[in-house]
A and B are shown apart, each in its own frame.
Chain A
Amino acid sequence: MDIVKVRNLTKRYAEITAVNNISFSIKKGEIFGFLGPNGAGKTTTLKMLVGLARPTAGQIIIDGIDAVRAIKQVQDIMGVVSDENNLYDEMSGFENLCFCAALYGMPRAQREKRARELLQKLNLTAAAQRPFRTYSRGMKRKLTIAAALIHKPKLIFLDEPTTGIDLESARLIRRLLKKLKEQGRTIMITTHYLEEAERLCDRAAFIVKGRIVQSGRMAQLIKDSAAENKIKLILDGDLEMAPVLQFFAAQGIRVHGVEEVTPTLEEVFLKITNTERGGDN
């Protein structure tokens, strides 16, 4: 079942076509990665999906509802982490979360309970009563993520959630996202950390200059890209490789193991985006 269906979506600003006729869908319960270089159109696409930008053309169906026409009808199932930490500076972490909960119509007792719960989950309890303005960058990011989850959304959009936060917190967030997936939530995520995408995503699409150039299951994407298979030999001693490749069987060298090496997603990314950009770097 597709919870998000995007057909021929285009967004043009005055002279820039930020998103150029893209189509993709996201299945219920999966983590979908949206990957591409800076300025590719990831944020613009997310903005159109959540109701912060109006498509120039194309169709967005979310949970069976035409989201271009009736975005307000689907916003209550969506949680949004935008690329900036956009909470209120003068309010405390706790107040910020309660306020966001109120925007989704949650009654007071529930708001406060849920806010405390999330603050704890994200290790922010100690800073709960401090103004948001006094938070470190990483703490701000975490609170922004908490704010998106406050109303237990079924569908979560995250625009570079782990940018600017330390390893420990990034890991915490990845665990949180996995747990959300286990609970049956659907997640769309953009990230520049390809290892993260590789570990997290079930499927992904690559977008370059506003166009989707490749998409599919993560494992498949990686496999497809491996046109030339690499073999890694674990050998005894310090030997030259070339003669080994030709003669190792005949030479009677003991081979401890042969391991197939698939490229990392990072390599796949560079390959795909570089050919599309004309290999300018």
Chain B
Amino acid sequence: MKNLIAFWQILKKDINNYYLKPPNISWGIIFPLSWALMQLLRSPGEVWIKELLPGLMAMSVLFGTTSMLAVTITFERRARAFDRLLIAPVRLSTLVAAKLSGAIVFGIFNAFLPLIFGTFFVSLEGINWALMLIAVFLLAALAALLGLLVAVSAREVFEAQTLSNFFRFPLLFLCGFFLPITQLPKVLRILSLGLPFTYGADLLKGALLGKFIFNPLFSLALMVISCVLLFLLCQRSIAKRWIL
């Protein structure tokens, strides 16, 4: 019960303080939107837009979530407000989960923006909504965990920002968000197969377009396992690096 109250209030505070602030909301929107417009101008057409949609959603998630969590946590740590959480009788895992949840909710919200935008141009018939939700959730969780990993490594806010970008941009191209991984050069393709985002993006693509590269069950399992492993890794490094 105690942990639950703390969890909920941390989540609520983060959403109010960070995620609902206009400049931050725009982070997850502007970049994917401009990307989409760029692609649309190049080759308009209904099929093309629909093909573009899953990649845009995944991108929104990645851009809205990773750096937001990394930056806000680093910021709180710099201001030492994070100490408040560490001196409270709240389990470290609850704390980490609360921090992640804010970013995940924000990521999911971001994912739906391109989708809403897309409804103006294409019909959304034939979408596997349940699978899409699961895929978006897992992608958001993974992106949030990546942000947390960045936060664990960074000391300064600008470091957190730079490190997030260092991960985000390559992921964009390596994980089949837009460019099918089958078209990647061999070395990069092997690399992409080792990245869990690849499977999340494929799940999302499958949910929207009905075409999978990997078995969806396999992708699901792999995503879940990756999330759990990353969570444990983050929790361990936090205990080690934040309580000096």
Question: Do residues A52 and B87 form an inter-chain contact, with CB atoms below 8 A?
Answer: yes
Question: Do residues A99 and B13 form an inter-chain contact, with CB atoms below 8 A?
Answer: yes
Q: What number of A-B contacts does a CB cutoff of 8 Å give?
A: 72
**A75/B91 contact (C-beta < 8 A), A86-B80, A88-B81, A103-B9 known:** no
**A86/B83 contact (C-beta < 8 A), A103-B88, A105-B6, A107-B5 known:** yes
**A residues near B5, Cβ cutoff 8 Å:** 102, 105-107
A59-79 near B? 1/0 per residue, CB < 8 Å:
000000000000011011010
Task: Say if the beta carbon of A31 comes within 8 Å of chain B.
Answer: no
Question: Do residues B6 and A52 form an inter-chain contact, with CB atoms below 8 A?
Answer: no
Task: Say if the beta carbon of A100 comes within 8 Å of chain B.
Answer: yes
Question: Do residues A84 and B89 form an inter-chain contact, with CB atoms below 8 A?
Answer: no
Distance A21 CA – B2 CA, assembled complex (angstroms):
36
Question: Do residues A102 and B6 form an inter-chain contact, with CB atoms below 8 A?
Answer: yes
Question: Do residues B13 and A91 form an inter-chain contact, with CB atoms below 8 A?
Answer: yes
Among B84, B85, B86, B244, residue most surrounded by chain A Cβ atoms (within 10 Å):
B84
Distance A38 CA – B5 CA, assembled complex (angstroms):
39
Q: State how many residues of chain A have any CB contact under 8 Å with chain B.
A: 29
Question: Do residues B86 and A102 form an inter-chain contact, with CB atoms below 8 A?
Answer: no
Distance A82 CA – B13 CA, assembled complex (angstroms):
22
Measured CB to CB, the nearest residue on chain B to A11 is: B244
Question: Do residues B9 and A51 form an inter-chain contact, with CB atoms below 8 A?
Answer: no
Q: Determine the main DSSP class of B at the interface with A.
A: helix
**A51/B91 contact (C-beta < 8 A), A88-B13, A88-B17, A105-B2 known:** no
**B residues near A89, Cβ cutoff 8 Å:** 79
Question: Do residues A53 and B243 form an inter-chain contact, with CB atoms below 8 A?
Answer: yes
Question: Do residues B87 and A78 form an inter-chain contact, with CB atoms below 8 A?
Answer: yes
B63-93 near A? 1/0 per residue, CB < 8 Å:
0000000000000000111011111111110
Question: Do residues B81 and A105 form an inter-chain contact, with CB atoms below 8 A?
Answer: no
**B residues near A51, Cβ cutoff 8 Å:** 86-87, 243
**B residues near A53, Cβ cutoff 8 Å:** 243-244
Question: Do residues A87 and B89 form an inter-chain contact, with CB atoms below 8 A?
Answer: no
**A54/B244 contact (C-beta < 8 A), A75-B87, A75-B88 known:** yes
Measured CB to CB, the nearest residue on chain B to A72 is: B89
Task: Say if the beta carbon of A104 comes within 8 Å of chain B.
Answer: yes
15 pairs, CB–CB < 8 Å, chain A vs chain B: A51-B243, A52-B87, A53-B244, A54-B243, A84-B80, A86-B79, A86-B81, A86-B83, A91-B13, A91-B17, A103-B84, A103-B85, A104-B2, A104-B6, A105-B6
B interface list, Cβ under 8 A from A: 1-3, 5-6, 8-10, 13, 17, 79-81, 83-92, 243-244
A interface list, Cβ under 8 A from B: 13, 50-54, 72-73, 75-76, 78, 80, 82, 84, 86-91, 99-100, 102-107, 147
What would 18 more interface pairs be, CB under 8 Å, given A89-B79, A105-B1?
A52-B83, A52-B243, A54-B243, A54-B244, A72-B90, A72-B92, A76-B2, A82-B83, A91-B13, A99-B13, A102-B5, A103-B6, A103-B9, A103-B10, A103-B88, A103-B89, A104-B88, A105-B5
